[in-house]
Amino acid sequence: MSAPARPASLPRDDLFSSWADNRLSEPLQDHVDRLPPGWRALLDDALSSSSFAALQRFIEQRRAEGAVIYPASPFRALDLATPESTRVVILGQDPYHGPGQAQGLAFSVPEGFKRPPSLRNMFNEIAACFGGDPATFGNDLERWARQGVLLLNTSLTVEDGAPASHARQGWEAFTDAVIAAVAREPAPKVFMLWGAHAQAKQALLPPGGRHLVLTANHPSPLSARRPPVPFLGCGHFAQANRWLSEQGREPIAW
């Protein structure tokens, strides 16, 4: 069950401060240089590829042109969930494109910001699995990441007010490499693939059934209740914990 949320709104000065902190203010290479050694070893080919070099040039050009880019720490999901600690992978698509929202963790927003609809449905599903009042769950999912939940968007940066503005610029090749690297690691993991975009990544997973793959519609209100597999009622959070326990791995305190 999730930790209690902080108050529903922040003072205006605190919000402005979080907006400033939320912007990408350093060259992407600085963030690459700070990646944990475990990820650097697994992702060396992707980081030295021509597509990643092109991505870096694109981001630096947009920064030079004055674009406001989020989040401040594009690789935060990798900083918090190491290759060794990862037990569950949850895939998102694009960082939030509003001031202060994107944290480098898919679906997560800081405490004090309005809860996004997809996250609201995720918390409703957790409550259906384990009980509790979703209104008391905290919007910041760092607590999941520190338990080994890799909250990975397929694009890791975005521009203010422009969803998908950094899609097809090279991030997808990099995050595909992350997914494939995690899947190659021998420890059993759960992959939660919600919606067609995430489910397309199933091709990156090795055959043989050593990992548990859970698929359903995206938790967005547009699809959460629709067939073929509605997200609401899918039971993925409970299934993941049961399976992890069966594999001798610690379940997640959702």
Return phi, psi of residue 71, to 5°.
-90, 180
Whether 94 is catalytic: yes
Q: 94, 133, 140, 176: which one is catalytic?
A: 94
What 3-state class would DSSP assign to 140? coil
Handedness of CA 149, 152, 158, 162 (dihedral sign): negative
Q: Which amino acid is at 36?
A: P
> How many helices (DSSP H) and strands (DSSP E) are in the chain?
11, 6
Measured between alpha carbons, how far is 157 from 13 in angstroms, rounded to an integer?
Answer: 25
Burial category of 132 from C-beta neighbours within 10 Å (exposed 0-12, middle 13-18, buried 19 and up): middle
Return phi, psi of residue 144, to 5°.
-70, -45
Query: What torsion, rounded to 10 degrees, do the Cα atoms 20, 26, 31, 33 define?
Result: -150
Q: Which residues are catalytic?
A: 94
